[in-house]
Amino acid sequence: MVAEVKKIIAVASGKGGVGKSTVAVNLALGMRAEGLDVGLLDADIYGPSVAMMLGVADGVRPESADGKRLMPVLVQGLKTMSMAYLVAANTAMAWRGPMAAGALQQMLQHTNWGQLDVLLVDLPPGTGDIQLTLAQQTEVAGAVIVTTPQDIALLDAQKGIEMFAKVKIPVLGIVENMAMHECSACGHNEAIFGSGGGAMLAQTYITELLGQLPLDAKVRIGGDGGQPIVLAAPESSSAVAYRDIARAVIAALAKNGVSSGPDIVFE
């Protein structure tokens, strides 16, 4: 049940491959580092990745105290739930949209989340059944849109923003991932995927550019190895950027005057 969850935030992207789940995991840990009680729901039914990124061993299953509701899996200080906890790792979820939407509803409403300041929902890419089910089944305080600077990613990100507008969910801001690459040999920064796209998108839709993240091999290595960069290298430039984005999201919630539950106060 989400009755004791103060704020629900959707982390979304218009297309796959932009690092949305990596952002969701490190954003959750960044908000946790700011002193908030944070949950993370992996809503990508077909391709869950949160468990791997957090280092949860294969075969971990959620417990149930009453035989009706699941207890979230506590990992790295986060309360988490994912299809990865409910099926074998190599199981293909060959489900039609309504079945996937039903699975989301079960994980959202039948998990005993307890008291949380924030529940982050890592959505699958696109604008389909999962996104609409989340919007219809619960009150979402806002959405964070993840994109890369390249035009094709920005085009799909616009569709995501337009979808949230249709279902009356405010967009808290844009996270521009893979914004630049720093050469490990010479230190030169290069905008491999272009530059300025995230800022332009934020300006077009009158929202904020929450932050820009570098294309960093250590982020990928940490995610693959179950040690997200915010924990593995908290003083690194990437980890600092994620912490700054976490603060920006908290500030955006307050700025938008979201009224679902008590206000989060950031000092």
Q: What count of residues does the chain have?
A: 267
188 in any annotated domain = yes
Q: Is residue 28 part of a domain?
A: yes
The whole-number pLDDT of residue 257 equals 62
- Classify residue 262: in a domain, yes or no: no
**Local structure of residue 203 (DSSP, 8 states):** H
Q: Is residue 104 part of a domain?
A: yes
Let me know: does 176 contact 208? Beta carbons within 8 Å.
no
Residue by residue, pLDDT tens for the chain (267 residues) are 688 999 999 999 988 999 999 999 999 999 999 999 999 999 999 889 999 999 999 889 999 878 788 999 999 999 999 999 988 777 777 778 888 888 999 999 999 999 999 999 999 998 889 999 999 889 999 999 999 998 889 999 999 999 999 999 999 999 999 998 777 777 667 877 778 889 999 999 999 999 999 999 999 999 999 999 999 999 999 999 999 999 999 999 988 765 333 344 434
Q: Which long-range contacts (CB under 8 A, 24 or more apart) does 155-162 make?
A: 155/14, 156/13, 156/14, 156/15, 156/125, 157/13, 157/14, 157/15, 157/201, 158/14, 158/201, 158/204, 158/205, 159/14, 159/127, 160/12, 160/13, 160/14, 160/126, 160/127, 161/201, 161/205, 161/207
Look at residue 179 and tell me if it is in a domain. Answer: yes
Please name the helix (run of DSSP H) or strand (run of DSSP E) that holds residue 199, with its range, or none.
Answer: helix 197-204
* Exposed e or buried b per residue across 45-56, where buried means at least 16 C-beta atoms within 10 angstroms of its C-beta: beebbbbbbbeb
pLDDT value, residue 266: 39
Return the residue matching tokens 């959620």: 62
Cβ atoms 61, 30 nearer than 8 A? no
Name the residue range of residue 61's domain.
5-255
**Inside any domain, residue 112:** yes
State the SS3 of 93-112: CCCCHHHHHHHHHHHHHCEC
pTM exceeds cut of 0.85: yes
* C-alpha–C-alpha distance, residues 97 and 99, integer Å: 5
Residue 159 lies in a domain: yes
Domain count, the chain: 1
Instruction: Let me know if residue 263 belongs to a domain.
Output: no
The CATH number linked to 72 is 3.40.50.300
CB 145 within 8 A of CB 161: yes
Picking from 93, 96, 132, the residue whose alpha carbon sits closest to that of residue 12 is 132
